[in-house]
Structure 1
Amino acid sequence: MDMTTQHITLGAINMEAENPVELAAFWGTVTSAVPSVGGGTVYLPPAGPGGFAMFFRPMAGPRLERQAAHLDLTVPWGSRQAEVDRLLSLGATYKWDVLDEVPHVQWTTLADPEGNLFCVAEHPPAS
């Protein structure tokens, strides 16, 4: 068995949506990517190097009461509030801030238009 270390990358984040086209449009605006609709699904390509892709498909069943995973988006130090304000203007909903819990990160938790939680985090510069 070859034990060579391989570089793993994120291919895409897959999400079920009540309205895949509308949810992909929201995330396309968030990430500056252009959605590609195919049948009942939508692919959102990475918006450049270091970006991530997303894939939206119709809901297969009822939405779970508890969200087991969420996206943590990172912005440069000092720009979190401006980015949160931008995302709110696009249709995100404010949930809460965590500003003093840990010294190496501050974040705001938001929900996308279908209620999926995500965070916008900033890390202070290294001393």
Structure 2
Amino acid sequence: MITTDTTDAEGLATWWAEVTGAEITETNDGWYVIVKGGSLPVLLAFQKVEEPTPGKNRIHLDLTTEDLEGATEQLLARGATLVGRRGDENFRWHTLADPQGNEFCIAGSAD
């Protein structure tokens, strides 16, 4: 399981559950929220903190899909922001950020 510090554990967990097709399985009064399952299978936790750790994420999610452009557009439509499109004809991935600025990547096969 990967745990993300956040000032809004339920809000961020809800966003990740929606975009991965997973479910919130525990809320623990909003202090430690767990997301599990989904079409992009995940086991994630969101821990409420007073102030997130500053700076770039040291750990980030790498998700995979058969439809990189379609998945990216869906994530953008749901509130993610595009950080960059990367790769070449052999391997492509996009770096995005969730609504609180946590970066993650989604990769797909070359067309």
CA drift of 1:47 comes to 2.5
Paired position in structure 2 for 1:42: 33
Q: Confirm whether residue 116 of structure 1 aligns to residue 102 of structure 2.
A: yes
Select the structure that is richer in strand. 2
- Structure 2 counterpart of 1:17, from 3, 6, 24: 6
Paired position in structure 1 for 2:78: 90
- Structure 1 counterpart of 2:64, from 60, 64, 74: 74
In the alignment, structure 2 segments of 5+ residues that lack a partner are: none
Number of aligned positions between the proteins: 109
Paired position in structure 1 for 2:16: 27
Higher CA-based Rg: 1
| Alpha-carbon contact 2:9-2:47 (below 8 Å) kept | yes
Distance 1:123 1:56 in 2: 30
SS in 2 for 1:87: helix
Distance 1:114 1:51 in 2: 21
Paired position in structure 2 for 1:4: none
Q: Confirm whether residue 51 of structure 1 aligns to residue 37 of structure 2.
A: no
Distance 2:17 2:52 in 1: 24
Paired position in structure 2 for 1:106: 92
Report sequence identity in percent.
Answer: 29
CA drift of 1:120 comes to 0.9
SS in 2 for 1:53: strand
| Alpha-carbon contact 1:18-1:114 (below 8 Å) kept | no
In the alignment, structure 1 segments of 5+ residues that lack a partner are: 1-11
| Alpha-carbon contact 2:62-2:106 (below 8 Å) kept | yes
